[in-house]
Amino acid sequence: MIEFSHVSKVYKGVKALDEVSFTVGPGSITGFLGPNGAGKSTAMRVLVGLCRATSGSATVLGRPYAELDRPGFQVGTLLDAAAQHPGRTGREILTLGAMTLGLPRSRVDEVLDLVGLSGKESRRTVGGYSLGMRQRLGIGHALLGRPAVLVLDEPANGLDPQGVQWMRGLLRGLSDAGCSVLLSSHLLHEVERVADRIVMIGRGRVLAQGTVEELSRGRGLERTFLDLTAHADRSAA
């Protein structure tokens, strides 16, 4: 479970997050939806302890990330697929992750198969990977410890249509098994096809949240999203 409670973050006088509150329950996928610069990545960085909230709290499984006993087995994260070492092979990156967690080498083969990277692809250096391959590798790294919570920032970037369909099926299978998934995107049509709930954010503020069905009523989900983000931009002007 993930919980944001009145989280605000101020950078040099600029409020990147403004009283953000929402939860992600077990066995569910929450789409964190907003345009680039809306505050999605900042919220995720606060959640996993990479930056400190100015006020409020963000917890995973009832505790701040820094207080988790074995975070690699409890929370899987993908915040930047391009951050992987370009001189290492995909297999080496996963092997180092498995060694850090004390996992057997066999887990690397399981994960490579799970994310659809062939033996030949896994032996290539990451510097020669496409963005889609880096995304698959990053998702695999997040899954090494079989975590109960997944935090994924724009994981569909660079995936081809087949890859996007694969990712939807993977996340749905994980959530059906009880995993809590927080998935950020700026693409409405990707989020609504996989998420159980949606949290819309703009200019650091939660603009609306609810199930896809709830947010689709009346004007429809796309119209609601466009109207709310436009309103947020006018209010900040």
Q: What is the CATH number of the domain that holds 220?
A: 3.40.50.300
| Domain, as residue range, for 12 | 2-236
Report the pLDDT averaged over residues 59-86: 93
Report the pLDDT averaged over residues 140-153: 97
Q: How many distinct structural domains can be found in the chain?
A: 1
**How high is the pLDDT of residue 215?**
83
Q: Which amino acid is at 144?
A: L
Tell me: the pLDDT tens digits for 111-142?
999 999 999 999 999 999 999 999 999 999 99
How many Cβ atoms are within 10 Å of 66's Cβ, its own excluded?
Answer: 9
DSSP string, 173-229: HHHHTT-EEEEEES-HHHHHTT-SEEEEEETTEEEEEEEHHHHHSTT-HHHHHHHHH
CA distance 64 to 119: 37
Q: What pTM was computed for the model? A: 0.90
Q: Which amino acid is at 18?
A: D
